[in-house]
Amino acid sequence: MKTKILTILRGTDDYISGQEICDRLGVSRTAVWKVINQLKEEGYVIEAVNNKGYRITEYPDILTQSELESAINIESANGEGTLAKKLVCRDIVDSTNNVARKLAEDMACHGTLVVAEQQTGGKGRRGRHWESPAGTGIWMTYVLRPDISPDRASMLTLVAALAVADGIKEQLHAAGCDCEFGIKWPNDIVLNGRKIVGILTEMSATPDSVNYVVVGIGINVNTTEFDDSIKATASSILVQTGLHIQRSRIIASVSRRFEEYYNIFIKTANLEGLIEQYNSALINAGREVRLISSDNGTEHEETGVAKGIDMNGELIVRLDDGTMKNVIAGEVSV
Ligand code: BT5
């Protein structure tokens, strides 16, 4: 009921009368009044004007079930067209990827989205740590059940990166900001050269079929303090743009884009339908890249100019000696 009332209120910039809410939901005036009071306690600023009704003038930056569901409903025509099909909101978890994996083992459906306010054991790739302080970032994981062969699954990281980049860009543009923002292949999203987003995809599979994939996404939204170990490389949307964007809006935008791009990806199980969009979001394109690979413990370094990705998500690089090289995600850092 709270979600329904919040969805009605956020669906219009105008006042809406208590009576209209009652009629639309078939509930009593007292029930509406109680929910309005609960919302005020949670930090929503709600104007109540005689003969006009209610209007929300300020939203708190919270990740409650009703805040997220109502933001997603508005963004995606009441739950159609979003990859956040079922929401699991938690306060503190070790890692949303771990929670999502457990839920997936218990048969959680495709499109289950786990969101937490804080992670105590946030994970990066190859056992690295991901800083996930309370209240200022988005730490979330989607459970996916794609009917594809396991060797295709790593491309979902690129599909997610494109969805996150476009979802955030949409919110930044709406707030009037046009900044240097994009994907650093394969899985980082950077703003003015600083890492804002990290993505960790994990899979459970048999040799020829995928059981489930979890796609974990960390976004520094309104974070202003960073651990010494990441101060030089990490930043947040707020620090880089001065804009305080509500986390629920970003989650709603990203979930809508992710649904759209996932459906394009799943038709061919490759990136054929998304290459152009991905390459236009790619900040490496046309720029010099350093390829560092290790061969039996010996490090090699090559330099070249990145051209873009191919339909398998590999980065095409023209090396300094003129030869073309396809670089596989996960093997080389750019
Ligand atoms: C990543 O790893 O970038 C993947 C991060 C995925 C995090 C999400 S949060 C929700 C879900 N649940 C999880 O447990 N994980 C996912 P990688 O490319 O390996 O980068 C890790 C490196 O980024 C670290 O070694 C630090 O140098 C740096 N780092 C750590 N925390 C950061 C932060 N909050 N912002 C920017 N950089 C950070």
pLDDT digits (tens, 9 = 90+) for 6-60: 999 999 889 999 999 999 999 999 999 999 999 999 999 999 999 999 999 999 9
Return the pLDDT at 204: 97
Non-local (6+) Cβ contacts of 51 within 8 A are: none
Structure tokens at 268: 């061919």
Query: Residue 101 burial by CB count (10 A; 0-12/13-18/19+): exposed, middle or buried?
Result: buried
Do 48 and 105 lie in one domain? The reply is no
For ligand 1, is residue 230 a contact (CB within 6 Å)? yes
Let me know if residue 158 belongs to a domain: yes
Q: Are 209 and 150 within 8 A, CB to CB? A: yes
pTM, entire model = 0.95
Give whole-number Cα distances, 91 to 84, 166, 204, 288, in Å: 18, 27, 26, 42
Give the pLDDT mean for 273-283: 95
Do 259 and 112 lie in one domain? The reply is yes
Give the pLDDT mean for 201-224: 96
Do 274 and 298 lie in one domain? The reply is no
Do 161 and 48 lie in one domain? The reply is no
Task: Take atom 35 of ligand 1 and give the residue whose Cα is closest.
Answer: 234
Do 202 and 233 lie in one domain? The reply is yes
This complex has an ipTM of 0.99
Q: What is the CATH number of the domain that holds 14?
A: 1.10.10.10
How many residues are listed for the chain in this entry? 334
Q: Are 63 and 115 within 8 A, CB to CB? A: yes
Let me know if residue 116 belongs to a domain: yes
Do 143 and 206 lie in one domain? The reply is yes
- 6: phi then psi, degrees, rounded to nearest 5: -65, -40
Do 177 and 107 lie in one domain? The reply is yes
pLDDT in tens, 280-312: 999 988 999 888 877 777 888 889 999 999 999
Q: Tell me, what amino acid is at 38?
A: Q
Of 101, 120, 130, 332, the residue with max ligand 1 atoms within 8 A of its CB, to mutate for a pocket test, comes to 130
At which of 42, 58, 74 does a domain end? 58
Do 95 and 110 lie in one domain? The reply is yes
Output the CA 156–ligand 1 centroid distance in Å: 17
pLDDT bucket at 179, cuts 50 / 70 / 90:
confident
Q: Are 304 and 325 within 8 A, CB to CB? A: yes
Residue 67 region, left (φ>0) first, then alpha (ψ -120 to 50), else beta?
alpha
Output the CA 240–ligand 1 centroid distance in Å: 18
The reply to whether 37 sits in an annotated binding site is no
Indicate the number of domains in the chain. Answer: 3
Give whole-number Cα distances, 107 to 66, 204, 207, in Å: 24, 12, 20
Give the pLDDT mean for 205-228: 96
Output the CA 198–ligand 1 centroid distance in Å: 5
Return the pLDDT at 291: 87
For ligand 1, is residue 237 a contact (CB within 6 Å)? no
Task: Pick the atom of ligand 1 nearest to 198's CA.
Answer: 3
Output the CA 129–ligand 1 centroid distance in Å: 6
Do 132 and 177 lie in one domain? The reply is yes
Let me know if residue 332 belongs to a domain: no
Let me know if residue 76 belongs to a domain: yes
Let me know if residue 186 belongs to a domain: yes
Question: Domain range holding 200?
Answer: 65-281
Do 308 and 252 lie in one domain? The reply is no
Let me know if residue 333 belongs to a domain: no
Task: Take atom 34 of ligand 1 and give the residue whose Cα is closest.
Answer: 131
Do 162 and 22 lie in one domain? The reply is no
Radius of gyration from C-alpha coordinates of the chain: 21
Return the pLDDT at 24: 94
Q: Are 12 and 42 within 8 A, CB to CB? A: no
At which of 281, 298, 314 does a domain end? 281
Do 263 and 206 lie in one domain? The reply is yes
Q: What is the CATH number of the domain that holds 214?
A: 3.30.930.10
Query: Residue 137 burial by CB count (10 A; 0-12/13-18/19+): exposed, middle or buried?
Result: buried
Let me know if residue 334 belongs to a domain: no
pLDDT in tens, 55-78: 999 999 999 999 999 999 999 876
Let me know if residue 247 belongs to a domain: yes
